[in-house]
């Protein structure tokens, strides 16, 4: 889901623009993708913007540190490499990393980011409760990189 269109309380001025109520979510999505890109870049040791099987194997320690529970190189690499090109592209990595809930352990997760941001766990938050969130913003978005990248309207 993208940040655009999450304002369910009215259509606003134009569906081609992110409105003020949607802007915070857009920033949260951008921050999460920056984190994913940092992870991808750390794994891409030769800076060719793709991850080979050997780079993926060498990144085992990083992936475990980011929260990967089971590491079977061949099966995971094949699962991530959706186009079967022999390399993991950022789009493929981002989709997989979001599903696996990987988290860059050295990042600066903000304590005040709020529930549903994907940046902190609910137990650490002093932000809005679920009911408060629903009253103020409507249903929480589900982050999907494909909806962000493949949006045509």
Q: What is the pLDDT of residues 116-149, one digit of tens each?
A: 445 444 444 445 566 665 666 666 555 555 555 5
Mean pLDDT over residues 82-98, rounded?
A: 95
Q: What is the pLDDT of residues 17-70, one digit of tens each?
A: 888 888 888 898 898 999 999 999 999 999 999 999 999 999 999 999 999 988
In a domain, 74, yes or no: yes
Which pLDDT belongs to residue 19? 84
Torsion angles phi and psi, residue 51, rounded to 5: -110, 120
Residues facing 33 on adjacent strands: none
In a domain, 108, yes or no: yes
Mean pLDDT over residues 81-88, rounded?
A: 95
Residue 1's nearest CA partner among 144, 152, 116 is: 144
In a domain, 9, yes or no: no
Query: What's the number of domains the chain is made of?
Result: 1
Which pLDDT belongs to residue 76? 94
The CATH code of the domain that includes 139 is 1.10.238.10
Structural domain span for residue 123 = 20-149
Q: Which residues contact 151 (CB under 8 A, 6 or more apart)?
A: 2, 4
Confidence of residue 89 (pLDDT cuts 50, 70, 90): very high
For residue 88, count other CB atoms closer than 10 A to its CB. Answer: 25
In a domain, 111, yes or no: yes
Distance of CA 50 to the CA centre of its chain: 18
């Amino acid at each position: 889901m993208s940040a655009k269109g999450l304002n369910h309380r009215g259509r606003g001025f134009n569906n081609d623009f992110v409105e003020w109520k949607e802007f915070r979510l857009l920033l949260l999505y951008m921050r999460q993708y920056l984190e994913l890109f940092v992870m991808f870049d750390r794994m891409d040791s030769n800076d060719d913007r793709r991850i080979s099987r050997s780079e993926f194997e060498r990144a085992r320690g990083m992936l475990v540190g980011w929260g990967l529970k089971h590491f079977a190189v061949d099966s995971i690499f094949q699962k991530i490499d959706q186009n079967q090109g022999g390399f993991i592209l950022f789009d493929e990595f981002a989709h997989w990393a979001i599903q696996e809930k990987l988290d860059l352990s050295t990042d600066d997760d903000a304590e005040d980011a709020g529930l549903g941001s994907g940046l902190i766990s609910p137990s650490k938050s002093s932000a809005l409760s679920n009911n408060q969130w629903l009253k103020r913003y409507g249903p929480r978005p589900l982050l999907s990189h494909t909806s962000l990248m493949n949006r045509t309207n």
